[in-house]
Amino acid sequence: MKNALLLSIILLISFSVFAQSGFEVKGYFGASWARANRKVDLIGSSSVQMENFKEVGVLLSKGIGEKFKLSAGLNYLLGEVKFFPAPNPCINCMTGYLHNPDFQMLSIPIYAEYSLSRLFYVAAGPLVDFQLSEGNNFSDQNGIGYLIGFGSRVSKEKFTFSVFPNYKRHGVIERYPVNPFDNSDKYKHILEELGIQFGLAYRF
C-alpha cells in the first residue's frame, strides 16, 4: 500500500511538471466483464465470481514521430467478488467463513500506441498492479500484468474523445517470487478483464 501511494504521488508530480511540455493528459472511465480462474482446475475447490467491475484513471502521453505514442498513468479498479466455498463433507460442521466482497486495485499502465489511421489505433504494454483490498478469497493479484486493445478517437482542436475496448490480464508475474519447489503456484487465480474505456484528452 505504501509503495502504491508513493508511486502515485511521483506520477502525479510528473503530470504537473510535463503538462506544459507538449504532452497530452487524458481522463477516462470504464467498465469490464471480469473473471478469476485458477491456472489449473482444482476439483472440489472453492470458486469466485466477479461482478460490477468499474475503473477510472488518468494518462499522460507523448507522441513519438507520426505513428507512435507512449502513455503512462494511474488506474483505480473496483468491483464485487462473490465467494462460493468448497462443499463441506461434514454435515454437522459450522460453515461460516470470512469474506470481503469489495475488490480494489491500483494499477500503473505503461503502454505504446500505434496509429493505424486518423481514427483507429492499437495499444499494448505492461500493468504494474497493487491490490488494495484483502479477504476476497482468491489469489493476491500484486505483480505485473499486461493490456492490449484496439481503439478509436476523434480530435477537435486540442481535445480528443476516445473509445478503447481492451483486454487485461493481471498477476502474470508475481511481485514476490514463488518457491520453485512449491507447486501450489499452478493453482493461483488469474484475474482477466474484457472491458471498454471512454476518455477525454487535452493536448498542451
Residues 6 or more apart in contact with residue 53 via CB below 8 angstroms = 31, 32, 33, 34, 77, 78, 79, 193, 195
Spatial separation of the C-alpha atoms in residues 134 and 15, rounded to whole Å: 30
Domain boundaries, the chain: 2-87+98-203
- Rounded to two decimals, what is the model's pTM? 0.79
Tell me the pLDDT band of 178, cut-offs 50, 70 and 90. Answer: low
Tens of pLDDT, residue by residue over 37-76, are: 765 555 556 667 888 999 999 999 998 888 999 999 999 9
Spatial separation of the C-alpha atoms in residues 130 and 108, rounded to whole Å: 9
Residues 6 or more apart in contact with residue 85 via CB below 8 angstroms = 46, 95, 97
2-87+98-203: CATH, from 3.30.1120.80, 3.30.2350.10, 3.30.365.10, 2.40.160.20 = 2.40.160.20
Residues 6 or more apart in contact with residue 92 via CB below 8 angstroms = none
Tens of pLDDT, residue by residue over 116-162, are: 999 999 999 999 999 898 887 677 888 999 999 999 999 988 899 99
Spatial separation of the C-alpha atoms in residues 170 and 55, rounded to whole Å: 15
